[in-house]
Amino acid sequence: MDRDTPDAIIWDTISPSTEFRKNVLVKYKVKEFQIQAQLSVPLAVTPQICGAVTFAKDNYVITNSIDQDSIIAMDLVAAAVLLIYDESRGVHRTFDGADLIEMCCIQSLRDIGYDFAYLPQFSNPDALSRLQTWYYSNFVSLTRKYFTGDQLIRQATRRISEMIEAARVAVRDNSTLPYWALEDFLRTGSIQAFKPPRFQDTSWHILALAAPPIILVVGELKPDFFHEDGLPPSWPSSNAISKINTLLKSFGLGKVLQKYCAEPRARGGIFGSHRTLRRWLIQVQSFSGAYLRPADNHIVYNLPSSRCDCAYDVFPLQKGDNRDNKHLFGGCPNNGILLLDGK
């Protein structure tokens, strides 16, 4: 049977066996051959000749060969999944790679002393859409040099591409997800990765190990990034939390209960938009099939109508399983979603 569509998959299992991967092709070739001759003195002249051979090793490795100045490279970075870890709340908030590009552009303008009163007018509400304005805008430095927003984006793309590649190598070689300090990334030329927090059995790692996201760390994000229409979310849901709620109420600790539900408390979970999650699932598709299953928890925004969003766990797609996630995103392109731990 021929491949009848461009996205037709030809494999059931794409990863070769461990035994096969051990047979790495390495070729040795003569790099240098030196001859040394010595004469014995004062006896009869008897030349002694010896040789030294130096070998070079050819290790056949393909590195990331994308032209970092290309439009494709810029779009790959803009579409990358960005997680910012709020250390105070213990929650990852999703953003687009375009958000990090924009932060880099703004920091570059700050570094050259640009007057932000002359920033172009941005009419779009999200960073992905605002990139078009950045592309076609012009800026003037203190030394009266003109440069474009396209140049700023290319510079940011090169820096972020290095971070993406480092994350992929870390996942491939050590099965670990590197965390980076956002402050260091914006302020310095090079940064050191940090070990991930100790989250166990986090279901979203199924996605992260197949398509590594950029994970940055801040002390605490603004509450606005967890609110809808200025109102904070809560999730009174799983059996464990219900038991805690009952216990607190029995001791008259209503204020403690209210505080407990006022902020996201899913340690290690992810809070973000359906749009970003859907794109992440598309990136993971083929290499590691995954689908979402509604969890016990759910998100309630403190509105009179008590509008709810579902929380989901991520599960691997078993062979022969035809589940898909399309129905989860129908008609909900921008609303919040929370991925909780597998437990």
pLDDT at 258: 45
Residue 65 belongs to a domain: no
pLDDT at 144: 86
Domain count, the chain: 2
Do 29 and 153 lie in one domain? The reply is no
Average pLDDT along the chain, 343 residues, taken 10 residues at a time? 80 80 78 62 59 74 69 90 91 94 93 89 91 92 88 92 91 91 85 85 87 93 82 62 55 50 63 88 83 79 68 80 72 64 53
- pTM check: above 0.75: yes
Do 23 and 105 lie in one domain? The reply is no
Q: CA–CA separation, 97 vs 78, rounded Å?
A: 4
Contact partners, residue 140, CB within 8 Å, separation at least 6? 118, 146
Do 189 and 50 lie in one domain? The reply is no
Residue 11 belongs to a domain: no
Q: Between vectors from CA 180 to CA 179 and to CA 185, what angle results, nearest 5°?
A: 165
Do 117 and 54 lie in one domain? The reply is no
Token pair, residue 279, equals: 């794109």
Do 141 and 202 lie in one domain? The reply is yes
Nearest to 168 by CA among 202, 214, 200, 206: 214
Do 193 and 298 lie in one domain? The reply is yes
Token pair, residue 207, equals: 């996605």
Q: Which domain holds residue 27?
A: 18-59
pLDDT at 264: 46
Residue 38 belongs to a domain: yes
Do 53 and 92 lie in one domain? The reply is no
Residue 280 belongs to a domain: yes
What DSSP designation does 61 have? Answer: -
Contact partners, residue 243, CB within 8 Å, separation at least 6? none
Residue 276 belongs to a domain: yes
List residues bridging with 216 in a β-sheet: 84, 180
